[in-house]
Amino acid sequence: MAGSLRNVDVGDLVERTRAGDIRAVARLITLVENDSPVLREVAAALSPHSGRAQVIGLTGAPGVGKSTATSALVTTLRAAGSRVGVLAVDPSSPFSGGALLGDRVRMQDHATDDGVFIRSMASRGQLGGLSAAVPQALRVLDAAGYDIVLVETVGVGQVEVEIASLADTTLLVVAPGFGDGIQAAKAGIIEIADVFVVNKADRDGADQVARDLRFMQSLGGPHSTAGAWRPPIVKTIAARNEGIDDVVAAIGKHREWMQGHGEVARRRRARAASEIEAIAMGEVRLRFAGVHGSAALDAEAAQVVAGTTDPYSAAADLLNLLRSRSGA
Amino acid sequence: MAGSLRNVDVGDLVERTRAGDIRAVARLITLVENDSPVLREVAAALSPHSGRAQVIGLTGAPGVGKSTATSALVTTLRAAGSRVGVLAVDPSSPFSGGALLGDRVRMQDHATDDGVFIRSMASRGQLGGLSAAVPQALRVLDAAGYDIVLVETVGVGQVEVEIASLADTTLLVVAPGFGDGIQAAKAGIIEIADVFVVNKADRDGADQVARDLRFMQSLGGPHSTAGAWRPPIVKTIAARNEGIDDVVAAIGKHREWMQGHGEVARRRRARAASEIEAIAMGEVRLRFAGVHGSAALDAEAAQVVAGTTDPYSAAADLLNLLRSRSGA
């Protein structure tokens, strides 16, 4: 490891991160979030020290109480002695929190607890975007010795599915009156959820939401195969900490099942593969950025506007140009 | 043009599209949305017949009344004799409408009007995703002779900014009580808006929203340069069709300004350039997909999990592999 580059002493930051120094952890996450030139060095330095943390994904539509559920989970996991990291990911915002999640009032319960690290991440950065930055941030928290990292995503879109797929266990949080889980079904999240959490279970319609989920499960998908994990449905009232123990128990059962089926290793390989791919795509995007604005792309664009070529032929030309420039 | 491929007679569809046959238009949009193998052929056949339509982007946070504003604009533009296409783009949903926008009740006012074509598009498809599919759909509507195409996006995230940048004129719709435009400012949409629409102008806080926008404008950005376009702020009550004439007038003024400054041509070249780039990136992604699941990526992923390499080195290996396979 070179140690120092552009005034950042990566070796020192990694050392302090591994010792649990919260400021070093925050600094490293900022580095990986900003596509810092030392990104590669950070990843290389952390790689040997990661792979221990259990990653729990929480996803669901806005308003179902994900932040409240996350906060309640943190309380329960802390009581059991675990050190807990939280990454709150908002793909629709180009701004990163860094600061403490502003409106997420309940999270502030944990602001003074040294065993909890909370950070929000947004779509800033280029080199693979969140698809690359979130795994790097996970690696930082992992190396810093957080036993469990909760990754909370906002919304139920494509990016959320992608990020949730990073987790060892993915929780889908639903609530009465928020599309009854149908929204989630649309986004393909039903397929990737390992535990369903029906929050606000004291409200009218909670039983119906649970029935809807059971029905959608029965329609097939990976969970209907014999021997497959059948996602349990857990009812909670996160705002009163009710049912959170059951969620933790369900996560534990899922972990046991995964360990018995070689699934932990399989998921981690899949996570590494998509991380590698995101970084590689980001690299290609940077190369395009080098060409963008160049005479070649401008000329192709002008021809497309004039109708003398079509964008597919122009794209093929551009790829050929990149290939010849990369000199293989 | 080869004409027929995989049972799709592209030449015939293009001919019928140019004659304004709504079923052919719908069919072609479905083809471009699904990354059909004939995509390239469709683009090549349409390219000589496009470039006439005026593209208006509408963006803004959920709840501000974008669909209502879109519908009111359609009514006003139709009354002036224009044929109008509408693309409602929802990047957070993996499902395409195809059918008529379900819950967008007010849009149904236009369901029986032959001079209006309404279509929703979502993030289905791979080859460049929405960044490639939306320009293709625009090209179809353009070739079909729609004078004006309204592109309405849901939300104010990164994808929305990207899609809004396709338009000749971009409207940012805000409303009292929906983050007062601050949300939009965060997402960088203030910078790309050509006209600000303060909808629900009869509500408390409308004046404050307008003042906030003026203040944010005054902070600088492209609009503060001498001779630059200064986005007007138009108040509307779209649900009662109030102020919509003013919006149309503001769009017209912006168009005049653009024509006087070579800006129409510049925007169209920029649009073509980003379309070409999106297609090229999609092509690279497909090549990765060919490698994904292969022994090479699996082996790299296993090494990352084991901590014997880091994802950046693995990505570099993968790119070298792709380059050698593409055989340049």
A246 vs A250: CA distance, rounded Å: 6
B148 domain-assigned? yes
Asked if residue A145 is part of any domain, the answer here is yes
What domain count does chain B have? 2
**Which one of B281, B298, B307 has the shortest CB-CB distance to A48?**
B307
In a domain, B89, yes or no: yes
Angle at CA A253, nearest 5°, toward A251 and A255? 70
Kindly write down the DSSP assignment for every residue of A259-289, as one continuous string. Answer: HHTTHHHHHHHHHHHHHHHHHHHHHHHHHHH
Q: Is there a domain that residue A299 lies in? A: yes
Kindly indicate the confidence band of residue A3, based on its pLDDT and cuts at 50, 70 and 90: very low
Does the pLDDT at position A211 exceed 60?
Answer: yes
Res A156: pLDDT? 56
Spell out which residues of chain A touch residue B269, defining contact as CB-CB under 8 Å: 298, 301-302, 305
Last residue of a domain, one of A216, A232, A260: A260
Please report whether residue B44 resides in a domain: no
Give residue-wise pLDDT tens across range A11-24. Answer: 999 999 999 899 99
Q: Are residues A283 and A320 in the same domain?
A: yes
CATH number of domain containing B111: 3.40.50.300
Q: Name the B residues in 146-175 with CB < 8 Å from any A CB.
A: 155-158
Residue A98 lies in a domain: yes
A125/A216 same-domain check? yes
Q: What is the mean pLDDT of residues A178-184?
A: 51
Best probe of the B interface among A304, A308, A322, by most B CBs < 10 A, is: A304
Q: Identify the band that residue A175 occupies on the pLDDT scale cut at 50, 70 and 90.
A: confident
Size of interface A-B (CB pairs under 8 A): 200
Same domain, A159 and A245: yes
- A98 plus A201 within the same structural domain: yes
- Poorest-confidence range of A278-287, B15-24, B75-84? A278-287
Same domain for B169 and B311, yes or no, is no
Pair (A70, A126) in one structural domain: yes
CB atoms within 10 A of CB A266: 11
Q: For residue B189, tell me if it sits in a domain.
A: yes
Per-residue model confidence as pLDDT tens digits over A251-275: 999 999 999 999 988 888 888 888 8
Q: What is the mean pLDDT of chain B?
A: 79
The answer to whether B135 touches A311, Cβ cutoff 8 Å, is yes
Residue A34 lies in a domain: no
CA proximity to B209, closest of B237, B174, B183, B242:
B174
A77 vs B48: CA distance, rounded Å? 63
Q: What's the pLDDT at B119? A: 86
What is the predicted pLDDT for the residue at B237? 97
Q: Note whether A284 and A212 are same-domain residues.
A: no
Residue contact A315–B95, C-beta within 8 A: no
Do A124 and A241 lie in one domain? The reply is: yes
Range of the domain at A293: 277-326
Chain B interface disruption, residue of A39, A92, A168, A285, most B CBs within 10 A: A92
pLDDT reading at B253 higher than 90: yes
**B57 pLDDT band (50/70/90 cuts)?**
very high
- CA distance linking residue B323 with residue B321, whole number of Å: 5
Candidates A40, A50, A319; nearest CB to B283: A319
Which residue on chain A is closest to B160 by alpha carbon?
A: A92
Instruction: Give the residue carrying structure tokens 């065993």.
Output: A115
Q: Which of A95, A273, A319 sits opposite B292 (nearest CB)?
A: A273
Final residue before a domain boundary, out of B207, B227, B261: B261
